[in-house]
Structures are given as C-alpha cells and as structure tokens.
Amino acid sequence: MRKVILYTAVSLDGFIAGPDDDLNWLTDPENPNPDPNEYGYLDFLETIGTTLMGYKTYRIILAMGEPFPYTGKENFVFSRKDHPADGNPVRFISGDLPAFVGQLKQQPGRDIWLVGGGQINGLLLEAGLIDQMILTYVPAVLGSGIRLFGDFSGYSRFSLQKTELLSGSMVQLIYQKNET
C-alpha cells in the first residue's frame, strides 16, 4: 500500500504560512541559496508518484512565477468549486477527499506527497490517512497565519523516527503513524 507523507516546513509555533499566505519566513538568512537536496528534497521527490494539494496552495505555487514544479507526477488539486483545465499537469477534484485519498493509497505506485495546506492536512489527519510526516522546523515564530493542521482539534499519535539538524538552525523531524 502506498503511504501518504506530509512533507512541509513549519514555524516554531505551528504555522505553514504567515498572515496573507506570507512565505518570506522560509528564506534562511544564513543560507539564502541552499543546494536543492541539502534538506533531502530531491531524494524525497524521487520516492513520490502523486501529489495532493488544496487549491489555495496550488495558487501560491503558481504565483511564485516558476513553471509548475511537479511535472512527471500525478497531481491532484482539491477544491470546493470546479475549475477548468489551466495547462498544468493537474486534475481538479471536488467531493469526498478522504474517500478519494483512501482509494489512491490502494493503487500501485510510488508514495503520495501531501503538499498541503492546513485544511487538507487536518482533514486527512482526522481520517487517519497520513502515514508519515517529515516536518522541517524553521526557527521563526509567526504568531498567526495558516496552521499546520488547520482547525483540527482531534487526537492522533505518531512516533518519532529520526531527527536531523540542518543548516541555518533548522531541524527536520520524521514521524511515523502509530498503528492502533
């Protein structure tokens, strides 16, 4: 069975974006142009066959002005509204997100990257569909913004598998879902 992996950067106070979707806090002043694989990103990307993201996250990615970064992958963008094809290699999905992701996990292939955002992260956590989390903590406190798991208020338990100190005082933690 394929794993759903939440791989993201997070602030010390649990935000994945600041107010107004601000991502400037992700720029590390000690290492402004890191090697793309310095944090294991390229190695991780090789293990992924599918990406999942919300429409707001998708729009933020496109607003960065670069070509869509996940070509060669099966990409799903979740939205409450229908959207016409826009030329990028994505499929827009509405409806029952947990049921859709549960079916994806049963299909053969590489693992599934939960790109985000907070609402989708919380919904899939609540449904018990996140198998692993790779969280890179950036030494910044934002105070407000988009929470890692949106409005999730339930309970879920994971086990720490690995910690790694990265350049610029960032820490990467890898958690595995506890089997119940």
Report the alpha-carbon distance of residue 18 to residue 10 in Å, rounded.
10
Please state, in angstroms and as integers, the Cα–Cα distance from residue 101 to each residue in 20, 59, 117, following that order.
28, 21, 15
Question: 147-164 in b/e burial notation, b at 16+ Cβ within 10 A?
Answer: bbbbebeeeeebeeeeee
Does the structure show a pLDDT above 90 at 28? Answer: no
> pLDDT-derived band of residue 30, with 50, 70 and 90 as boundaries?
low
pLDDT value at position 26? 85
| pLDDT reported for residue 32 | 57
As a whole number, the mean pLDDT across the chain is: 92
Q: Is 36's pLDDT higher than 70?
A: no
Q: What is the pLDDT of residue 180?
A: 64
Amino acid at 45: L
pLDDT of residue 41: 87
**Alpha helical stretches, state H, 47-161:** 55-63, 97-106, 118-126
DSSP lists the bridge partners of residue 138 as 11
pTM greater than 0.75 (yes/no): yes
